[in-house]
Amino acid sequence: MGGPSPQQLAEYRRCAILHVDMDMFYVGVELLNAPQYRGRPVIVAGSGPRSVVLSASYEARQYGVNSAMPVSQARARCPSAVVLEPHREAYTHYSRIVMDIFRSVTDRVEQLSVDEAFVDVSGAIRRSGPPVEIARTLRRVIHERTGLTASVGVAENKTVAKIASAYCKPDGLLVVTPEHTLAFLAQLPVGKLWGVGKRTSEILQSAGLSTVGDIAATPLPRLHALVGTASGTHLKQLATGHDPRPVTPAREEKSIGAERTFQRDVADSAALKRVLLGLAHDTAVRLRRHGLRAGRVGLKLRYADFSTITRSRTLSHPVTAAHDLYTEACALLDGLGPRAQAVRLVGIRAEKLTGADHAFQLSLDGREEEWGAAEEAMDRVHHRFGPGIVRPAKLMETTMPIRPARDILDGT
């Protein structure tokens, strides 16, 4: 028997974008080693008193437990929940397996996070069959190789595919054909559109626009008046099923950073700077590992009342050394002046990333190259003898009550 006809190929390729989203990924991975808790409310979070929820099972979500919620609040809402410690190395392991499964079908895979990706299968149809069959195969193989489940949306573009995968959770498959796209979108609340946050949703609903279909039927000038020209045009396109963005396999890393949450709030600037020094070294190591330099440094502080501020500073030349990141972060911290509250979280971020071999203007004294060379030597020592063998003297005796650093690599 032959393959699909030219007409069938053309039809299949009109609806060949998959959005694959693992179901409660962190919880699912933990339950592989703790199957006795399946069907019960489960929360994945650290054991510290200041921990927040990393992920919650669907049973726990029924009680209003959500990601990023303080564990104390989650326990109050769901006293029967089982709290499991996170194992980040396991998440990385299973994420790689899942992404490799996608790439065994096509190289057009755009990974969004450890547990979701867009997959353009338009070039794999002759070999692997129609997109819906490819989606079924991916779900089956993922479950066979990992024991985890995934939900898949299949559509003509990324926006509709992502909405479809969320719509069919958990462990579901939903195909939205081009002919049914407008009808599918029209019934959804405005908050389901990608990029519509709480504030925009409130503005639209106060104007009587409660569904995506309402937005699609609203004249463009009125949308411009409500949410601005750019946002109004963007919403109109999404609401009418238009999203020309291709699936992009290589996602540019826009920032790299790390942050720490304190077990007890900290007000002392010297203590904060000591932690910033460690975070700067964590971030610089990752910059060098990825072959990148930072053109801007960002500082993040979260206060005792959970209010959060960020500040950033553009550098005169891109850097890769922790010394430079730390110096700029301290300047940003000092620039904030006296603090009315103690700090519960501090973070540092390297932004405006460029390749390490990218041409740039050195400073007159060349000190950044000296620091970079010294830290590269530290990298080699750590690679051979293990992390922490060589480090700044200020970090040799750290008694600060802190949780482990959380690395941040952002490509959004």
Q: Is 115 within any annotated ligand binding site? A: yes
* CA-closest candidate to residue 280, choices 381, 392, 402: 392
Q: How many angstroms separate the CA atoms of 25 and 16, rounded?
A: 24
User: Strands across the sheet with 150-155, in order?
Assistant: 109-113, 116-120, 17-22, 150-155, 173-175
Lowest mean pLDDT among 113-122, 296-305, 368-377: 368-377
- Enter the CATH code of domain 255-358+365-410: 3.30.1490.100
Longest dimension (CA), the chain: 77
Query: Is it the case that residue 403 has pLDDT exceeding 70?
Result: no
Of 59, 116, 328, 368, catalytic: 116
Lowest mean pLDDT among 6-10, 20-24, 40-44: 6-10
Q: Is 214 within any annotated ligand binding site? A: no
Q: 338: pLDDT confidence band, cut at 50, 70 and 90?
A: confident
Q: How many angstroms separate the CA atoms of 218 and 231, rounded?
A: 14
| CATH value of 1-176 in 3.30.70.270, 3.40.50.720, 3.30.70.120, 3.30.56.10 | 3.30.70.270
Instruction: Report the chain's mean pLDDT, rounded to a whole number.
Output: 86
DSSP 8-state symbol, 20? E
C-beta separation of 310 from 279 below 8 A: no
Q: How many angstroms separate the CA atoms of 372 and 288, rounded?
A: 9
Residue with the larger pLDDT of the pair 309 and 355: 309
Ranges of CATH 3.30.70.270 domains, the chain = 1-176
* CA-closest candidate to residue 176, choices 12, 9, 15: 15
Active site (annotated) includes residue 116: yes
* pLDDT tens string 214-264: 999 999 999 999 989 888 998 999 999 999 999 988 655 678 899 998 888
Query: Is it the case that residue 7 has pLDDT exceeding 90?
Result: no
- 182-239: which CATH topology? DNA polymerase; domain 1 (1.10.150)
Residue with the larger pLDDT of the pair 146 and 338: 146
Instruction: Decide: residue 16, CB within 10 A, 0-12 exposed, 13-18 middle, 19+ buried.
Output: buried
Q: What mean pLDDT is predicted for residues 266-286?
A: 92
Residue 241 Rama label (left phi>0; alpha psi -120 to 50; beta): left
Six token digits for residue 179: 């002919």
Buried b (16+ CB within 10 A) or exposed e, 211-248: bbbbbbebeeeebeebbeeebbebbbebbbbebeeebe
Ranges of CATH 3.30.1490.100 domains, the chain = 255-358+365-410
DSSP 8-state symbol, 45? E
Cβ count within 10 A of residue 113: 12
What pLDDT is recorded for position 363?
Answer: 42
293 bridge partner residues? 354
Q: How many angstroms separate the CA atoms of 55 and 209, rounded?
A: 32
The dihedral through the CA atoms of 337, 340, 343, 346 has a sign that is negative
Lowest mean pLDDT among 280-294, 350-364, 396-410: 396-410
Q: How many angstroms separate the CA atoms of 32 and 190, rounded?
A: 36
What pLDDT is recorded for position 396?
Answer: 52
Q: How many angstroms separate the CA atoms of 365 and 60, rounded?
A: 57
